[in-house]
Amino acid sequence: MASKKFQFSWKTILLPVLGLLAFFSYLYIFNVDIPKIIAMAQRTNLYIYVLAAVTIVLDTFFFALSWHFLLNFLSVKISVLKSFLYVWFGIFMDLIIPAESISGEITRVYLVTKEHNGVTGKVVASLVAHRLIGMGIHVLSLFLGAVTLLIERHLHQTILNLIMFLAVATIILLALLLFLCVKERWTMKIVDVTIRFLERISRGRWKLQKFRGDILEAAKTFHSSIKEFGHAPKTLAKASFSSVVAWIFSFTAAYLVFMSIGYTEIHWSAVIVTCSIVVVIKSIPLGVPFEAGLPEITMSTLYILLGVPPDVSATATILTRLLTVWFRFFIGFAVQQWLGIKSTVVNLQDLMKKKNGEA
């Protein structure tokens, strides 16, 4: 994966463009003044907007640092820099492959196991623990923002209902993941059934049975690693703290976007609630690359319901998504290309050493 360069094509651009068209159609249907949005965007304070971009990078760094703590505890030794780069690569894959909630994790598993053999179970355990921490933070931020808005009497009933639904759904999923982490026998059954199902639908072409032993061994390693986390409160505390810092930077970026367009009436709680809802919704694998259209419509609608003028809401949404999608996409793409070039150079060096040894 790291050695292959990503190629742009019309298919890559088609869905993002359709998503933007869907968003602008939404604005047109609800009579939002598009020329006013353009004029407002042109007056953006670039210094504040660049600061928002910096917070996006810091968000990613602390997110990677959190994952690094978990990996390091399980004796999977990769540097903080590599963790940072692998997370960017994962973000890139999340944005282009229709499985947003898992494609980045699969990419990181591949990158780490390519460098360290026999650690698949440990890497998966670190990612599951990382996801559980993130889900817990999102639920808490939903409730924190909702309580603050209720106290200030700014919470719309529709948003309250949505918060309750998403919070309950996330808690159920969190409980299910924890159950599977604890019940090793259930996980083994799921793995076994999945292998048989894939063998059946592929009519035996995939030959997964020959990998069955390795997969089950990785599952056992996964469970033993999860149990180790249960006896490592300091590691979990460090990972959780880093994840909280990352989350603070993520909604700080959205807040700074409002500041950059001169709208100072936005409240922190409105940004926290909106960002939390969007993150939870976009974590659902809908099969649409670049999360085309849905997050933009959701974000702008939530801001409007929270009292932000429609034109300001739309402008802030567009500028925020430029950072969270396209800015992150191009950094991730650059990292993917660099890792690909580095892998090619290493392979050539190994080949030259082999030839020199034979000579």
Tens of each residue's pLDDT in the chain, 359 residues: 444 455 555 555 555 566 667 666 766 666 666 777 878 888 899 999 999 999 999 999 999 999 999 999 999 999 999 999 999 999 988 887 756 568 888 899 999 998 888 888 999 999 999 999 999 998 999 888 888 888 877 777 888 888 888 888 888 988 888 888 888 787 778 777 777 776 777 666 666 666 667 777 778 888 888 889 988 999 999 999 999 999 999 999 999 999 999 999 998 888 999 999 988 877 765 555 545 567 788 898 899 998 899 889 989 998 998 899 889 989 999 999 898 888 777 667 666 766 666 65
Q: What is the C-alpha separation between 42 and 233, in angstroms, rounded?
A: 49
Decide if 279 is inside a domain.
yes
Helices (H), the chain: 10-29, 34-42, 46-73, 80-96, 103-115, 120-151, 157-182, 184-201, 212-230, 233-260, 268-282, 294-305, 310-321, 328-358
Compute the distance between CA of residue 329 and CA of residue 299 in angstroms, rounded to an integer: 19
Is residue 353 in some structural domain? no
**Domain hosting residue 120, numbered range:** 10-346
Please tell me the predicted confidence (pLDDT) of residue 177: 84
Q: State which H helix or E strand residue 77 sits in.
A: none
Please answer whether residues 339 and 92 qualify as being in contact, where contact means their C-beta atoms are separated by less than 8 angstroms: no
Pairwise CA distance, residues 114 & 119, whole Å: 10
359 within domain boundaries: no
Residue 175 CA: distances (Å) to CA of 121, 181, 226, 295, 328 = 21, 10, 15, 26, 31
> Is residue 123 one of the residues assigned to a domain?
yes
Tokens representing 294?
A: 């849905």
- Between the CA of residue 236 and those of 140, 154, 172, 232, 300, what are the distances in Å? 17, 35, 21, 6, 35
Question: Global pTM?
Answer: 0.85
pLDDT at residue 94, as a whole number:
83
Q: What is the pLDDT of residue 320?
A: 93
If one counts the domains in the chain, the total is: 1
Specify burial of residue 136 (Cβ count, 10 A radius: 0-12, 13-18, 19+).
middle
Residue 355 within a domain = no
Evaluate the CA torsion angle 150, 156, 161, 166 in order and state its sign. negative
Query: Would you say 91 and 64 are in contact if contact means Cβ atoms under 8 Å apart?
Result: no
pLDDT at site 239: 97
Q: Which residues of 222-250 are buried (b: 16+ CB within 10 A; e: fewer)?
A: bbebbebbeebeebbebbbebbbbbbbbb
pLDDT at 4: 47
In a domain, 42, yes or no: yes
Residue 166 tokens read as 């998403």
In a domain, 4, yes or no: no
How much is the CA Rg of the chain, to the nearest whole Å? 22
Task: Answer whether residue 193 is part of any domain.
Answer: yes
The predicted structure's pLDDT at residue 181: 83
